[in-house]
Structure 1
Amino acid sequence: MSGLRFRFAPPPPGYGDGEHNPLTNQPAHSAGADQSLETPSHVAPDPAVCTAISQFLALEAKLLDENRYEEWLALLDEDIDYHVPIRVSDDRPDRQSAANRYRLRDNMMLLSKRVERMTTGQAWAESPASRTVRVVGSVLVTPTDLPGRFEVDSAVLIYRQRALDEEADIIPVRRQDVVLHEDGRCRLLKRTALLPWIALRTPNLAIFL
């Protein structure tokens, strides 16, 4: 390496005076300068509300796994809208849910009827009842313009073992909820449960997603 010589060009005018960024040759911004950088539109809610809603979703999963359906119904608002859209294959992701076509679309009356059938032992699709474990994660809470009303996105994996079947089902669900948080209590007002499947990979949807 002997004999090599290095020559360095002098710095350009204004280098180091705070007027230019030496790497980009663009005007520099001081720490307190007004920078028009794009930021996510998500507005962080009260951390206490996030905790309450996360606990609400965990409680819901526990009640459903333990087949405590009457207690689960008590978590729902009287105006609940619970639906599972049919998925389709399309080049555009925003068109992969069929418009106005659902595998399930229930209100409180229909959900109550489903629970009633499960407790009679005459819901043959769930006799004997499935053994399930729900794992809820990726919870994102976003305030809306209405006081006490929050959009809540979550991802759920449901392990489902039926009767004496040797193989279990794994049901992945992306949920888009609307949760009411009032007077320290949460209620589920709306749920859209999005399955990734075009064709069902589980025998039925007799369980709640």
Structure 2
Amino acid sequence: MTIDHQALSDLIYLDALLLDEARYDEWLALFAEDGRYWVPLKGRLQAEDEKYNAIADEDRLLLALRIDRLKAGRAHSQQTTSTAQHVLQQPMSVASDVGAGVYVLRTPFSYAESRGEDLVTLHGHYIHRIVAVDGQLRIALKRVNLVNAHARLPMIQLFP
């Protein structure tokens, strides 16, 4: 199965769109069964095997629990609901193993999250490891490398 760059980019843009529109169940469905959402504490400087220093490190189960909490209205921090907007640059292919169906892309981003009068703005780049599973593209890893991950960060409620 040949995967072109446009199909990979479209998945990354869809990832951001679903989050911006709070379509969390559809967003979660983009992940592989063993998919991981990771925001390393050291940003781009952190090796992938340094799993314990993280702002967020969630598998599908933990993501599903967080999504259920957001949807149920039980999250005190979401009384006024947060909204988000992702602005992405063009994804760039940084590695691939076509035979194994694994593709890695880097995408610079800006992210804004608003709740009431508060606005959080974050910048960085994503590393998406995308896999082909039964003819479908799925996210095996979404790594969020924040520019200032090492700094004191404001409360982040959603998914940068």
Structure 2 length-normalised TM: 0.84
Residue identity opposite 2:31 in structure 1: L
Does residue 130 in structure 1 map to residue 74 in structure 2?
A: no
Instruction: Label 1:74 to 1:65 Cα distance change in 2 as closer, same or farther (>3 A).
Output: same
Instruction: Label 1:183 to 1:109 Cα distance change in 2 as closer, same or farther (>3 A).
Output: closer
2:130 is aligned to 179
2:108 is aligned to 155
Residue identity opposite 2:11 in structure 1: F
Could you tell me how far 1:191 is from its partner in structure 2? 1.8
SS at match of 1:168: strand
The correspondence of residues 24-173 of structure 1 with structure 2, limited to 5 A, is 49-87=4-42, 96-97=45-46, 99=50, 100-141=52-93, 142-144=95-97, 146-163=99-116, 165=117, 168-173=119-124
Among all aligned residue pairs of Structure 1 and Structure 2, give the percentage whose two residues are the same amino acid.
24
Could you tell me how far 1:146 is from its partner in structure 2? 4.6
| Alignment check: 8 A CA contact 1:82 1:107 kept | yes
Ranges in structure 1 where 5+ consecutive residues have no aligned partner: 1-45, 89-93
Instruction: Label 1:134 to 1:60 Cα distance change in 2 as closer, same or farther (>3 A).
Output: same
Which protein has the larger Cα radius of gyration, Structure 1 or Structure 2?
Answer: 1
| Alignment check: 8 A CA contact 1:78 1:108 kept | yes
Could you tell me how far 1:145 is from its partner in structure 2? 6.1
The structure in which a higher percent of residues are strand is 2
| Alignment check: 8 A CA contact 2:87 2:111 kept | yes
Structure 1 length-normalised TM: 0.66
- In the aligned structure 1, how far is the partner of 2:152 from the partner of 2:21? 24
| Alignment check: 8 A CA contact 1:87 1:196 kept | no
| Alignment check: 8 A CA contact 2:40 2:46 kept | yes
Say which of 138, 141, 145 aligns to 1:194. 145
Could you tell me how far 1:187 is from its partner in structure 2? 0.8
- In the aligned structure 2, how far is the partner of 1:114 from the partner of 1:168? 21
CA RMSD across the alignment: 2.2
Deviates further, 105-114 or 193-202: 193-202
How many residue pairs align between the two structures? 154
| Alignment check: 8 A CA contact 1:84 1:105 kept | yes
SS at match of 2:80: coil
- In the aligned structure 2, how far is the partner of 1:171 from the partner of 1:60? 17
